[in-house]
Amino acid sequence: MPSLALKVYSVFFKLLLKHKLQTLLQQSAAGGTEASFGVASRPDESAAPSNPSFGPDGVATKDIHVDLLSSLSLRLFLPDSSLAPRNGHAPHHQENGAAYGGYLPPVAPPDARRRSHAGSPRKLPVILQFHGGAFVGGSNTSTANDFFCRRIAKLLDVIVIAVGYRLAPENRYPAAFEDGFKVLNWLGKQANLAECSKSMESTKAGGVGDASRSQIVDSLGASSVEPWLAAHGDPSRCVLLGVSCGANIADFVARKAVEAGKLIDPVKVVAQVLILDHPAANPLVPGRGPPLKCMPPTLTVVAEHDWMRDRAIAYSEELRKVNVDAPVLEYKDAVHEFATLDMLLKTPQAQACADDIAIWVKKYISIRGHEFSY
């Protein structure tokens, strides 16, 4: 039986969510200029500032606005292990807390380019993370989500891209889901632009002048290359991680990736982690997408006292019936979003959850040739 504290918390959480939904619906009915552009966070959310230098926890962050027509944004989390030589020796932090540049396009001045510590940059897997918040709240830059993504980046030795998707009711279904797949396509575009930029670098040896190269690169959009991803991202080892309602976005993106196949090359979704499910989007609805047997390996995390627990377990059971690697991790005496709520982030259960996710995900990102095949 759940303790009294857990019961009180559960009731409080539901009442708070109900109040927030009612307030947002009233604001949406009144109209506003934000409706078309959308919002990716709420004023009452505590936000953690980005820091492009490697701090005490060994993770640098930066924010990117990827869509001029909407509020869709990203926060990148880069662990300092990306600076380590391929032989695995400890990385050297930058002096004076300077911002890390990563790889810059060839049109940049030579002294502005960041040289790797091993002659060639170390490539890391990429995790796309979708926060929770019942589709109406939460943020990729919130204090709690920032802490969680830093923990994952460090534990798994990966680049985490936290997606700031558009929230309802300003942008209703399927806006958040569309944003998720848009980011996956953006990741593929970044990989292709990085390769293009490197190809332009090689033209210098063929006698093409800097001015000409600058025009060629700009015409192909190589100036839009994200330097951290160009230097260290390996999109062929991409994992989707969704929390609460974000788990439904992650599952939707996985299905769209299966349908797209090679159209999103070089991106390969090798696994997904679903931390709970949400009744607003049921992955077991018939005709929702490709057959379940086509889905990537899927880890589902549930809490003992979460009212959404049964549906999440049911989804995993259906995946296992068609031979998809789909284990369930259940945590005793835990509540909804226990691994990502600010008040619970430093509990032993939250730390154990991150450790367990790391152990499972590393099966699919550590060994080349082990990728999931569409």
What integer pLDDT is reported at residue 313 of this predicted model?
A: 92
Backbone angles phi, psi at 90, to 5 degrees: -60, 140
Options 142, 197, 244, 316, the catalytic residue: 244
| 372 falls within a domain | no
Complete DSSP assignment for 162-216: EEEPPPTTTS-TTHHHHHHHHHHHHHHHHHHHHHHHHHHHHGGGGT--HHHHHHH
Q: Does 50 participate in catalysis according to the annotation?
A: no
What integer pLDDT is reported at residue 113 of this predicted model?
A: 44
What integer pLDDT is reported at residue 368 of this predicted model?
A: 54
CATH number at residue 132: 3.40.50.1820
| 370 falls within a domain | no
Options 146, 236, 306, 316, the catalytic residue: 306
| 24 falls within a domain | yes
Q: In this structure, which amino acid lies at residue 247? A: A
Q: In this structure, which amino acid lies at residue 155? A: L
Backbone angles phi, psi at 308, to 5 degrees: -100, 5
The first and second tokens of residue 34, run together, are: 């934000």
Q: Does 244 participate in catalysis according to the annotation?
A: yes
Low-confidence stretches of the chain (pLDDT < 50) are: 33, 95, 104-118, 209, 211-222, 279-280, 369-374
Q: Does 232 participate in catalysis according to the annotation?
A: no
Domain that holds residue 21: 4-282+289-365
| 58 falls within a domain | yes
**Number of domains making up the chain:** 1
Nearest alpha carbon to residue 100 among 110, 90, 92, 88? 92
What integer pLDDT is reported at residue 218 of this predicted model?
A: 41
| 276 falls within a domain | yes
| Spatial contact of 139 and 166, defined as CB atoms under 8 Å apart | no
What integer pLDDT is reported at residue 97 of this predicted model?
A: 66
CA of 180: how far to CAs of 166, 176, 247, 340, in Å? 10, 6, 11, 19
Counting every residue written for the chain, the total comes to 374
| 303 falls within a domain | yes
